[in-house]
Amino acid sequence: MIVHPIDYRYGTDEMKSIWSEDSKIRRMILVEIALLKALAKKGYLSREEVEKAEKAALKVTPERVKEIEAEIKHDVMALVKAISEEVEKVSREAARWIHFGATSNDIIDTATATQLRDSVDILEKKLSELAKLLIEKAEKYKKTVCLGRTHGQAALPTTYGFRFALWAAEIARHIERLRELKPRLLVGQMSGAVGTQAAFGEDGIDIEREVMRELGLKPAIISSQIIPRDHYCEYLSFLSNLSATLEKIATNIRILQRAEVSELMESFGEKQVGSSTMPHKRNPIDCENICGLARVVRGFDEPQRESSILWEERDLTNSSTERITLVESTVLADHILTKLIGVVKKLIVDEERARENLEKLGGINMSEAIMIALTKKGMSRQEAHEIVRKAAMKAYSGKSFYEALLEEERISKLLSENEIKILLNPENYLGTVEKKIEEVENYVIRIVSQ
């Protein structure tokens, strides 16, 4: 019986395949094989015996592991027994060294590190794709002037290119963060019951290094029975931070798709249905999906932090939590990242509507431009602010802002009618918009090309 929506509704096949039960078991088998290879290099058994064991171990099925686990109630020991069954058929010598010197979490945590490695590779590629898409939009719409809004109210003009550049820079910073945490996150261990590698004696450090080299990982600098969970906390914190950015972008697209704004629009399929009762609806369903699931991703951050608080060398309180936190946060973060890539690829920017919404204000949002010009003409900044504020309040009462400005003698004495008209033109008050966009373009290109 399928219960969880990840099984049938959310998540990409490539990410879910990494975190599937079959994948986990296969990766744990590979860790056991890597341990045999490391032991062979230290003379515990021959390379020929390891080769036989490797072929046999790869025949182990998840079904057989589950059968044994149902009897003995221990997942890793069930795996060890299943591997031993197959290996004994071809080499009793190799079978006796399976899991030698290892504890359960040597296998579990190291296998998890391979899952995390493959997951962050996918996330990094998709973040780079999203950053490039946003930069393309920034370049395309760098001259598309629109109304800026603060507190949901009319503010100075900006451009859609500037908005896209702002989002692109944020995504690029997440790429940097992901790369920075990789060396701390992608570590495994082969350290034994309490981390001392006692069973391996003086060979412990060499064996651990060889196992990690075989698997493409680095050894944790030190661990107890398990890898310290601050490694995972940092990863969950990254996903939480990323999800906030993805939700921020999706939320702003939703806001700008509202009927009274209608400057941005998710693409809408020819046969797509927006409502079961209102045939006209075109809802921003993908962005809403992103916003909802981003909150779920952030919800895993705190349980993972709690899972780092363990008794002495470890207890088992982290185990059940991490079967959920690591898997679901990764799958859902990848899901919403993939969704947003799709949204941005097909995003509709209505430039005419953006212009209409800007002109509808009659220039009242250009109040700062008037205030700055008056200050430059000799008026104090504070006096200019008050005079322009009063004119704006008149404009809210029905008079045009242009007329309200001309009626104020202290303004008309310093600014001509033509100067005021020029100051009320949004295109004339964009500051360093294009330079900032260019800076972001260069930054993003540098990051994604590394």
Residue 348 near residue 23, CB atoms below 8 Å: no
Residue 410 near residue 379, CB atoms below 8 Å: yes
Distance CA 141, CA 292 (A): 29
- Kindly report the three-state secondary structure assignment for every residue of 101-138: CCCHHHHHHHHHHHHHHHHHHHHHHHHHHHHHHHHHHH
Examine the residue annotation and report whether 151 is marked as an active-site residue of this protein: yes
Q: What 3-state DSSP class applies to 200?
A: helix
Examine the residue annotation and report whether 275 is marked as an active-site residue of this protein: yes
Annotated catalytic residue, options 17, 275, 308, 416: 275
Q: What 3-state DSSP class applies to 400?
A: coil
Bin 421: left if φ > 0, else alpha if -120 < ψ < 50, else beta. alpha
User: What is the DSSP pairing of strand 348-349 with strand 264-265?
Assistant: antiparallel
Residue 242 half-sphere exposure toward CB, CA atoms < 13 A: 32
Distance CA 243, CA 296 (A): 9
CA distances from 116 to 171, 186, 299 (A): 20, 7, 19
Distance CA 135, CA 168 (A): 6
Place of tokens 């600014």: 415
Helix axes 204-215, 104-140, angle to 10 degrees: 40
Residue 210 near residue 41, CB atoms below 8 Å: yes
Which class for 120: exposed (0-12), middle (13-18), buried (19 or more C-beta within 10 A)? buried
Distance CA 199, CA 379 (A): 83
Residue 234 near residue 177, CB atoms below 8 Å: no
Catalytic center residues? 151, 275
